[in-house]
Amino acid sequence: MRKPILIGNWKMNGSLQANQALMVRLLPRLRLFRRAIDLAICPPSPYLFQVRDLLGYTGVMLGAQNAAGYVSGAYTGENSATMLQEMGCRYVIVGHSERRVLFHESSQEVAARFRAVLSAGMTPILCVGESLTERESGLTSVVIEQQLQAVVDEVGIAAFANAVVAYEPVWAIGTGQTATPEQISEVHQKIRKFVAGSAPEASIDLGQELRIVYGGSVKQANAYDIFSLADVDGGLIGGASLHADEFGAIAGALADASGVTGEVSAI
Ligand code: PEP
């Protein structure tokens, strides 16, 4: 049984004041769904401490947006996975397309970051996805398999038992253009098949156990339809996670789509 998960990626947005205001409005909405679905917020690193304190005992988990592939040393500007773990992070996004495209992180580098997150006892959220040109050239599967294979080569397929994969078509991120249900289903099924096909025979059915979330312009208006798809286990939400009403409604859509409605717990 795959527990649905909703992750908010604040990207490089926020301030002490804005974060406080957002969380005060958001947490009462999220707490309605915290037993039905897993929830995580990934603020920029300077705010991890603040957000950790604001999350308190709500059950909403803390995540980070990236982690170094190195343990420690002369890597100015990087945060080690151990440091993030010490801050209270449970999840770390790796391989976000903004890192791959804008900061030229290769799939091998992403794989090293994935390894570091696992080694520090946290769950990597591995982002994979194709650009518009790659999709239009019929290369979607090739690109995604290459991104997954780099991680398999680094840590082995069994490591996916402790990971989340986020399918994020690059052309859908922050553009308002969402992939169609057919496009999403097709890629999610292929990811499951790839993972199942890479697993040694004796291992559990990793492909079926793996949580695969979708990301790319998810909003209240389209969330339920996306989350109702059989192979979609939740969402990685960028822009909409900065709005309490919107993110709260997306969490509600995920709980509804997973068959859990209404208030299931109070703090
Ligand atoms: C993201 O940042 O991972 C993302 C999916 O962004 P958005 O929801 O804004 O498209």
Q: Supply the pLDDT for residue 203.
A: 63
Q: Supply the pLDDT for residue 267.
A: 39
Q: Ligand 1, atom 3: nearest CA belongs to which residue? A: 238
Q: Is 168 a catalytic site residue? A: yes
Under a CB-based contact definition with an 8 Å cutoff, are residues 59 and 27 in contact? no
Q: Within the chain, where are the H helices?
A: 16-30, 48-55, 81-86, 97-102, 107-119, 132-136, 140-155, 181-198, 206-209, 220-227, 244-257
Q: What pTM value is reported for the model?
A: 0.95
**Residue 236 beta carbon below 6 angstroms from any ligand 1 atom:** yes
Which CATH code, of 3.40.640.10, 1.10.10.10, 3.30.428.10, 3.20.20.70, is assigned to 5-257?
Answer: 3.20.20.70
SS3 166: strand
What residue type is assigned to position 201 of the chain? Answer: E
pLDDT digit string (tens) for 72-86?
999 999 999 999 999
User: What element of type H or E holds 61?
Assistant: strand 61-64
Q: What ranges do the domains of the chain cover?
A: 5-257
Spans of the chain, pLDDT less than 70: 201-204, 260-267
pLDDT digit string (tens) for 133-167?
999 999 999 999 999 999 999 999 999 999 999 99
Distance CA 228, CA 225 (A): 5
Q: Supply the pLDDT for residue 266.
A: 42
The residue whose CB lies within 8 Å of the most ligand 1 atoms, and thus the one to mutate among 6, 11, 177, 213, is 11
Q: Is 96 a catalytic site residue? A: yes
Q: Ligand 1, atom 7: nearest CA belongs to which residue? A: 238
